Amino acid sequence: MTAFDWTLVVLLNGAIIVYGLFLGRETKSASDWFLAGRRLPWWIVGLSLYATAIDSSDLVADSGGTYNLGLSYFVTNWVGTVVGWVVAAHFIVLPMYNAGMYTNAEYLEARFGPTTRLISALVQVQYRTLVLGIIATTIYLTVSIVFDWKEGAWWVVASIAVLATIYTAWGGLRSVAVTDALQSVVMLIASVVLFVLVWSAVGGWSGIKEKLAKHDPDLPAQMLHVGHERIETEGVENLSPKEVANRLLLGGEHREKEGVIKNRTPAWLFCIQFLIAGMAYSVVNHTQSMRLLGSRSKWDLKMSVVVAGSIMLAVTFFNLMMGVMGRALYPELHLLPVDDSLKTTADVIYPILVRDFTGVGLKGLVVAGVLAAAFSTYDSIGSTLSSLLTRDVYARFLVRDRDDRHYLWVGQWLTPMIIGVSFLYVPFLLEAGMLMFYLNLVSAFVVPLLTVYLMGAFTRVHRKAGTVGLLCGVLYGAWRLLAPWAAEHFGIAVLPIAMINESASTVFSMLITSGAMIIVSLRNGWEPRGELRFEEGGGWLRDSQQEAAQLAPLREPTMRFLPAILGGLVIAIGVVLSFVVFW
């Protein structure tokens, strides 16, 4: 990194941060901080949705994931996330918007009761602080490799966290949404520039196929087609017969002559896992619903996901192909041109490509894009989890009916605490691949919550079903996470092999959660369609909802069906790309 590169990094991100602080002057009340006064236009909400969805973890961790998984993982963004956005905007977030709600957990209380609200808030805190930990890890890897400054990498991470904390705590959602929109522009430019450089160096699509085939004739099919089964091979030649038997409790075929255990997952099951993971991100994640709730009208709310989805379709290819191209250049981890201490996972591939394929000026632009992606999600998750903890835990269950200024102050001070706690995940993420660690926790804790949202919006399940279903799904997820440990250390099969499989567990999680909800409803009856009950009573929580419901004008443009038509078109394009063009 030259002085000119550093100047680009500081100027591009510094100007955006200063502007965010400037916008923070207008934050006077809790509705300003949590909902931006419901004044955000569709294009700002859409750009902010995209910027929050594609953070530095998507650039670095997801590139490490596609290094191993190939184009199969594209289904997460092309189909899952886009479908989730459209479903959320048209069916799940809309009732929250009409009722003046501040968080998606408030909806769960209105639909299923206060216990479901509390569990939802706590699950989201766990889920999103993990993502903050992933972002910290990606910045550390980027600085260590691109800057060749391993000793000072954590100082850079800490500085970014502190800066994001300051303007988030100061300005709330409006500062965050506008800075996200600006940072998304930097991210887009940087992504395209790096893609073009590496694409040219590797020789385009034909060059990728040729280089992959040179290493392994089967590798092009595995990496360049969505519809290829996933094959995982684990060497066990140095293990005792008992240890091998314990590993087989988790599934797979032992090929004794080769000294390996092979696990095969069919393409359709793999795709379902990624589709559900993408939907879970869009629907469960309050960093997304918080932006939608800040829209200035219902039309803007619905139209914003068309903007976000359109950008997602294009930029996913630029971003996630980095891992595939990296695999073509360095087909084995031990071949990666980086210090041995950083070769534990493929997550280093994106920083390596930045270091080796960009020159003066371009390197600074790409690094600025990576850091802009980090800022856009640090601020988003900080403000989001602060709103959840303030409204859904602190104000609802701990300290009720204080004045508006008190809760604004609590929300502001919770932001640095949340970002600080996220660093506890870092040691685990450095040991294992970040993407697979993330997907494991999503299937265990987030998919049950997704199921509850979908069942609440599209069925008439009983009010008590939410808590029961959520607890059943989460308990299954936690039990499944214990299965590898129990098998390897004690030779105990705590679950059937099919229910341990990472891809299948996502489906089982939805079935267990929804099944429990249906059983409760068969016993206790079904709710009237669309009924919501507000149990907060009076006080700040209920008063603030009623005030927020009056903030946005009831504006319905003449083209009121346009968002639905365009949203369907974006979904169709993602489906064709995933299951036709690249299948």
pLDDT > 70: percent of the chain: 75
What's residue 232's pLDDT? 78
What's residue 209's pLDDT? 93
Residue 136's nearest CA partner among 378, 322, 353, 372 is 378
| 392, 105 Cβ separation under 8 angstroms | yes
Q: In what order do the strands lie in the sheet with 230-235?
A: 230-235, 260-265, 253-255
What's residue 137's pLDDT? 77
Using only C-alpha atoms, what is the Rg of the chain?
A: 23
d(CA 508, CA 505): 5
What's residue 173's pLDDT? 47
Q: What are phi and psi of 334, to 5 degrees?
A: -70, -15
What's residue 467's pLDDT? 94
d(CA 276, CA 454): 12
User: Three-state SS across 257-323?
Assistant: CCCEEEEEECHHHHHHHHHHHHHHHHHHCHHHHHHHHCECCHHHHHHHHHHHHHHHHHHHHHHHHHH
> Would you call 254 helix, strand, or coil by DSSP?
strand
Matching residue, tokens 């004690």: 490
For residues 546-567, one letter each, b for 16 or more C-beta atoms within 10 angstroms of the residue's C-beta and e for the rest, the string is: eebeeebeeeeeeeeeebeebb
Element (H, E) at 231: strand 230-235
d(CA 144, CA 139): 8
Q: Which residues are CB-neighbours of 580 under 8 A, at least 6 positions away?
A: none
Q: What are phi and psi of 225, to 5 degrees?
A: -135, 135
For residues 252-263, one letter each, b for 16 or more C-beta atoms within 10 angstroms of the residue's C-beta and e for the rest, the string is: beeeeeeebbee
d(CA 160, CA 158): 5
What's residue 380's pLDDT? 63
Residue 231's nearest CA partner among 208, 205, 258, 211 is 258
| 408, 29 Cβ separation under 8 angstroms | yes
Residue 203's nearest CA partner among 192, 194, 211, 193 is 211
d(CA 196, CA 458): 44
CATH of the domain spanning 3-229+266-422: 1.20.1730.10
What's residue 307's pLDDT? 93
pTM of the model: 0.84
Token pair, residue 455, equals 């069942």
Low-confidence ranges of the chain (pLDDT < 70): 1-6, 8-37, 55-58, 149-152, 160-161, 163-187, 343, 360-365, 368-383, 404, 408, 412, 415, 419, 421-438, 536-538, 540, 544-558
Q: Is 390 exposed, middle or buried (0-12, 13-18, 19+ CB in 10 A)?
A: buried
Instruction: Determine if residue 259 is left, alpha or beta; phi over 0 gives left, psi from -120 to 50 gives alpha, anything else beta.
Output: left
250-275: pLDDT as tens digits = 888 888 777 888 888 888 998 999 99
Q: What are phi and psi of 475, to 5 degrees?
A: -65, -40
| 105, 115 Cβ separation under 8 angstroms | no
What's residue 433's pLDDT? 56
| 351, 144 Cβ separation under 8 angstroms | yes
What's residue 578's pLDDT? 94
d(CA 292, CA 35): 9
Q: Which residues are CB-neighbours of 100 under 8 A, at least 6 positions away?
A: 544, 545, 546, 547, 548, 549, 550, 551
Element (H, E) at 230: strand 230-235
What's residue 375's pLDDT? 65
d(CA 283, CA 86): 9
What's residue 215's pLDDT? 87
**Domain coordinates in residue numbering, the chain:** 3-229+266-422
278-333: pLDDT as tens digits = 999 899 888 788 888 888 888 999 999 999 999 899 888 888 898 999 999 998 88
Instruction: State which amino acid sits at residue 337.
Output: P
How does DSSP classify residue 424?
G
| 524, 461 Cβ separation under 8 angstroms | no
